[in-house]
Structure 1
Amino acid sequence: MTTTTSSDYTLTLKQPKPYQVIQRYGYDPMKSYANHPGGPLSGQGTVIISGNISCSLEMAQLEARTVLMQDAYGEAVDWMKMEVEWRASTFQTTLKVPAGGWYRLELRLTDKSGDIMIESSVEPIGVGEVFVIAGQSYAENCNDEYLQIQDPEGRISCYDSIAGDWRIAHDPQPGVRIRDIHDTRLKGTIWPAAMNHLLPLLRVPIGMVNVAVSSTASRQWMPGERLYRQLLHAGKSVGDFRALLWQQGESDVIEATPTDVYISRLIAIKTELERQWEHSFLWMPAKSTLHPEVYSKPLEEGWIREAIHELWDTAGFAPGPDTDILGGIGIHRAVTANSQHFTLLGQQQAGMLWCISIWNMLQRI
């Protein structure tokens, strides 16, 4: 929350939050190129603005604008008079903002004569692409190296679904299993690498919320299970998002889950999430079955790979990457007892594969 106090009033801004990314809509890949007449059509987003004001609101007018921050993408919105829903001293309104950022959102409350009663702001915020991430260890903080966001302005952020805060998405990622980011058990992920590649292509901020948990099978993500509830909560917290990125399959290889069972589970999870979220979403599963330092099960790996391949052709799903091609032990995959996932090179190349898959998905919307 951001609280501003003047001599007579106090304004507490609850939404949006610093580093928050709002999902854009209206993006048309056919019209987003540099020389499109009138400029690239990158879309826009609806920013929810809410908070409290400690004053009488009779005849008061709330106004809002956005200001482009350093090296920002997008287009600023000049002062606009807002239509506000008031409940006692609590307010909520929405502002349509062109895709881009970072922006600084500025608010001011004026009286009936136009004099400013109080002003406030929050920064940075962005309108761009938001992704929910789930799965098991290759998606979590279990890989060899901490990766950093390379954009000087930090326009790739992550949401902590428990603390309720956004921050620049340097590793380790906030998750649901280990709460202390200084815990020495935490390692790196593949996601900064993926989004570092993707950001200059999209030219809009990127937001992520990661609820992956290592050593989990698809059955543990079914409706009613703890992991399902955590995923449900994460999706509700960020609102609309572009896609669910799913890096999982190794535990189902160990459990010898049949192809048809794996398919039916993911469809059941998706159906119930859409019912409870009250909106549809795109699910992008990776072919992630290889865990060479733990097992070699070509038959069972094939069952899960076939399930994911069939899901790629199922309505509501889209192809993620085939990270099983990164098979070199000691090259892409680590070999020691304390390091059993992607090496630095593996993280970087898995991130590149995810970037390609997301980019291809966005070209087909």
Structure 2
Amino acid sequence: MKKYRRVSRKVVGLTTIFIAAFFSVLVLTNTLGLRTILFLDTKIHTWSNIQNGQVVQRANKGESFLQLSGRVGLLAKSVEVVIASPELQIIQPENWISLDSSPRFSYFEGKISTFPGWIKVFGRSQGTGYRIDNGIQVGIGEVFIVVGQSNAAGSSKSLFISNSEKVRSGQFQEDGSILWKHGDDPQVRGGGGSPWPLVGDMLAKKLGVPIGFINVAVGGSSIRDWKPGSENFRQLIRAIEASNPYGVRAILWHQGESDQGMTSDEYYTQLVTVIRETQRASKSEIKIPWLVARATYGEGKVSEAVREAQKRIWDDGIALEGPDTDSLDTPYRETLDGVHFNEAGTYNAAKLWYQKIDDAFFKNS
């Protein structure tokens, strides 16, 4: 019996050694990607809060910054970056600056000062030598979140193309991620033509910096569909959180056509609640300004009650004054529904929005 136990322990020991050796070979040869899965290397695996083509909000005064983080192999000793301007053609050894000198359990993070405009972020990790990651293009400029119903989402039969390489759109995908693309329509998946490529072109021409729009508008939505806890409200919060820690310049609200029968007091109360609860739910340290449009036109008429509520929100200092798109009547609307902007209406809505955004933030730029 004792002899059997000794043999059994020996077999178990040899089996354990064999399994460990076999597993080590798998890791060393990266079979099945095990070395990568277990972070047993020195490379930068992911960047957590930037993606290629993204626009982040610049600072109001002084230098802007990038808050960079991600995952790196466990064998990496440090992470360094280069912030490259479009004019930089050669990266010299002295261009590299430390981002995180001691990553913790494969996580790295750091804050780097930068400047407005398009830049490229190159990263490298140090272990046994250097592992250099591909450059990521990021725009430091002006970012806006668009909220409301179909005329905000884009409903024109004509799609609009941004003429500026500085204009980008952050489009929500089915899995909840945001895909940053050129600023052409559609702004939302399955949407139509919108004012935002045109507004972006006008802003880019004046300011000379990248312009980004994240559009969460939903066609046909009532103000009631944006109440805290609704899916529309949660999507708005996701857009704000995706823009952290930089924030956005403003939230652009264009809604009201679906609420023509609503009283002024109800619309006012509902929108004030959305604005205030957005700040609370997003847990953002930065208070985001809202621009609220006067938008109620449909089938040849407007809602004076909703218009009065929208103006009262301006007068009470809860939101800034947005455009009066009710001034774009029948000749600027699609013939079949009398609500959605046609091509001419979209052009003119873009001019109205640009003027109010410029008045609110960039008059002296």
TM range (shorter): 0.7 to 0.9
Mapped pair 1:307 → 2:314 = no
CA change 1:352–1:70 in 2 (3 A) is farther
Q: For 1:124, which of 132, 137, 142 is the aligned residue?
A: 137
CA distance in 2, matches of 1:159, 1:91: 27
Give a deviation string over 1:55-106, Cα, whole Å, max 9, x none: 423xx232212112379xxxxx9532224673311212222211221x1111
Given candidates 177, 197, 210, the residue that maps to 1:163 is: 177
Q: Does 1:347 align with 2:339?
A: no
Aligned match for 1:51, one of 60, 70, 81: 70
| Residue 259 of structure 2 is aligned to residue 275 of structure 1 | no
Aligned residue number for residue 250 of structure 1? 257
Runs of 4+ aligned structure 1 residues displaced above 6 Å come to: none
1:238 equivalenced with 2:243 (yes/no): yes
- What is the one-letter code of the residue matched to 2:50? P
Shift of 1:23: 0.9
Quote the residue 1:104 is aligned against.
120
* 8 Å Cα contact 1:104/1:121 also seen in 2: no
Written as runs of structure 1 = structure 2, the 5 A alignment for 1:1-365 is: 9-14=42-47, 15-27=49-61, 43-57=62-76, 60-69=77-86, 78-83=95-100, 86-101=103-118, 103-110=119-126, 116-151=129-164, 153-160=165-172, 162-174=176-188, 179=189, 181=190, 186-239=191-244, 240-253=247-260, 256-279=261-284, 280-292=287-299, 296-298=300-302, 301-327=303-329, 329=330, 331-336=331-336, 340-363=339-362
Aligned AA (1:249): G
Residues 78 and 125, structure 2, Cα contact 8 Å, conserved in 1: yes
Q: Does structure 1 retain, via aligned residues, the 8 Å contact 2:146–2:214?
A: yes
Percent identity over the alignment is 29
- One-letter amino acid matched to 2:46: L
Separation in structure 1 between the aligned mates of residue 98 and residue 314 of structure 2, nearest angstrom: 45
Whether the aligned pair in 2 keeps the contact of 1:281 and 1:316 (CA below 8 Å) is no
Shift, 1:285, TM fit: 0.8
- The 2-side partners of 1:303 and 1:252 are apart by 10
Offset, 1:282:
0.7
CA RMSD of aligned residues (A): 2.5
| Gap change, CA 1:273 and 1:346, over 3 Å in 2 | same
Residues 134-184 of structure 1, C-alpha deviations (whole Å, 9 max, x = no match): 100111131121111101x3443324262332111211113xxxx4x5xxx
C-alpha distance after superposition, 1:27-55 (max 9, x if no partner): 4xxxxxxxxxxxxxxx4433222222224
Q: Could you tell me which amino acid in structure 2 is paired with residue 127 of structure 1?
A: I
* Unaligned runs of at least 5 residues, structure 1: 28-42, 72-76
Which whole-Å CA distance do the structure 1 matches of 2:271 and 2:116 have between them?
A: 31
SS in 2 for 1:158: strand
Indicate the structure (1 or 2) with the bigger Cα radius of gyration: 2
The structure-2 alpha-carbon separation of the partners of 1:83 and 1:215, relative to structure 1 and needing over 3 Å to count, comes to: same
Structure ranking higher on relative contact order (CA contacts 8 Å, 6+ apart): 1
Q: In 2, distance between residues paired with 1:130 and 1:192?
A: 13
What is the CA-CA distance between 1:212 and the residue it aligns to? Answer: 0.6
